[in-house]
Structure 1
Amino acid sequence: MKDHPFDAAQDLADAPRVGGAQRPKDAATLILTRGGSRPEVLMGRRAPGHVFMASKWVFPGGRIDRADFTAAATGDLTSDVARRLEAEVPARRARALALTAVRETFEETGLILGRPAPPANTAGPWREYRQAGALPDLSVLSYIARAVTPPGRTRRFDARFFMAPSEALMTPEPTAGSGELDEIAWLPLEDARALDLPAITRFVLGELAERLAQDRANPDRPLPFVRMVRGRHVVDHRD
């Protein structure tokens, strides 16, 4: 396995310590890819007014919602993804995190990762997704990284990074979504790495590049876990 560094100094510059104790909130991100020899990745730029990571280019994603625990889906998590997630959280929360990634991607980009299904009048944050005539397909997701925001930041997340191929989308091109991202685009991987990125996003792009070079998900590749321990950034790799 090739190792790529995590830029701890840039991480502190992205979100300086402001004090205060916060527990990280569970969150999930979806990395969508397309193309073969010159792969592209879907990214969006956060609007300038955001308190957290303003104007930075990121993957769509956000915090878990209660509705994600009961949302309907078609296709279960693969055994490898379920095993890795359930080593960290109970099975119900593992499934909910995967659904969070799908829902947040739809909300922020208008892209539907799923399969056609009869429209349903579901209340809450899944309403528009289900009315579009789709059910999330969890079987296409790979789990590729985990990161916890260091203490003392304005926002703290325990974020799981999933990836999926564009072939799993019902909608090929993004829309404006919720407006949280002021620009959304498919970008060649090498171009994406040249953008103004949070340190963790740059690190995960490196992980993504290596996975794509090793035939996409590569379930045997250890999963990187980035966090701060005793004031130092640590990257563990877990089977």
Structure 2
Amino acid sequence: MTTEKKRSVAESRTDGSKAPRPKDAATLILYRQSSKNTEILMGERSGRHSFMPNTYVFPGGRVDASDGRIPPARDLRDDVMARLIRGGCTPARARALAVAAIRETFEETGLRLAETYPAPRRSRVAIWNDFGTTTCGPDLSKLDYIVRAVTPPSRKKRFNTRFFVADAETLEGTMKDSSELLDLRWVTIPQALNLDIPLITENVLGHLDTFLKTRPEPDANRPVPMFQMRHGKRIFAEE
């Protein structure tokens, strides 16, 4: 991570007060091919949320401490790991981010990105037993990594979010609303842009559209777009 990127994480607000340090978070964008269009899964955040309530987003959330202790059934692809490390992650943190994206998606939608373990195991974390850790665990190999975004310093809650994508054809489980994500729906990107979405989600949809149209080959050197705000200005960069 460059010095400039390190400074952006600890930036002060415009009133001179210190901005809260952003917490690591991860999002999973699921896509599928319908008869003619590519669709993505989005849902409405509950009005009980203090962060972006009643807006349509992708499944995702903050990294929990336990996410770093869950052994994946399959590891991240080498190129995905390399891009996450280039952005400042350790290999362990990169895996924790990917696990968090899969866990949050399961909690919010009931859908699993899973693969069978070599031998049965149980977890001390209840959600992973519900996921099926006695027989299967998170499959990180199905993930690609396309965008990173840091919440502006002016917000009371800040997140350093990595956006992953995965083909819904590999999913297991039955989709259902949750207390966190309501009105789950498959939409095209033009339809998504007509929903009540945060500004960052609109930006991510542009990069997602390019990704889905080009379907780039695995490449550790592929630039990762990064969005942040510094001194009141939106910064669009690459890492």
- Whole-angstrom CA distance in 1 between matches of 2:24 and 2:181: 20
Q: Shift of the alpha carbon at 1:131?
A: 5.2
Q: Which runs of 5+ in 1 are unaligned?
A: 1-16
- Whole-angstrom CA distance in 1 between matches of 2:190 and 2:135: 35
Q: Shift of the alpha carbon at 1:20?
A: 6.2
Contact 1:28 1:63 in 2 (8 A): yes
TM-score by length of 1: 0.85
- Per the alignment, residue 227 of structure 1 pairs with 228
- Whole-angstrom CA distance in 2 between matches of 1:139 and 1:170: 15
Q: Shift of the alpha carbon at 1:132?
A: 7.7
- Whole-angstrom CA distance in 1 between matches of 2:172 and 2:121: 17
- Whole-angstrom CA distance in 2 between matches of 1:176 and 1:217: 33
Matching residue's letter, 2:69: T
Q: Shift of the alpha carbon at 1:206?
A: 1.0
Q: Could you give the per-residue CA deviations for residues 26-78 of structure 1, whole angstroms, max 9, x where no partner exists?
A: 00000000006410001110112221111100000011111111102122111
After TM superposition, the structure 1 = structure 2 runs for residues 153-168 of structure 1, keeping only pairs within 5 Å, are 153-168=155-170
Matching residue's letter, 2:189: L
Matching residue's letter, 2:55: K
Q: Indicate how the Cα distance of structure 1 residues 39 and 145 shifts in structure 2: closer, same or farther if over 3 A, else same.
A: same
- Whole-angstrom CA distance in 1 between matches of 2:113 and 2:175: 12
Taking only the aligned residue pairs, the percentage that are identical comes to 43
Q: Does 1:152 align with 2:150?
A: no
Q: Does 1:112 align with 2:96?
A: no
After TM superposition, the structure 1 = structure 2 runs for residues 194-209 of structure 1, keeping only pairs within 5 Å, are 194-209=194-209
- How many residue pairs align between the two structures? 219
Q: Does 1:176 align with 2:177?
A: yes
Q: CA RMSD in A?
A: 2.1
- Per the alignment, residue 9 of structure 2 pairs with none
- Per the alignment, residue 21 of structure 2 pairs with 23
- Whole-angstrom CA distance in 1 between matches of 2:28 and 2:67: 15
After TM superposition, the structure 1 = structure 2 runs for residues 37-76 of structure 1, keeping only pairs within 5 Å, are 37-76=36-75
Q: Could you give the per-residue CA deviations for residues 90-138 of structure 1, whole angstroms, max 9, x where no partner exists?
A: 1110111010100000011110011245764312242311358431111
- Whole-angstrom CA distance in 1 between matches of 2:38 and 2:71: 31
Spell out structure 1 runs of 4+ moving beyond 6 A.
none
- Per the alignment, residue 8 of structure 2 pairs with none
Matching residue's letter, 2:32: R
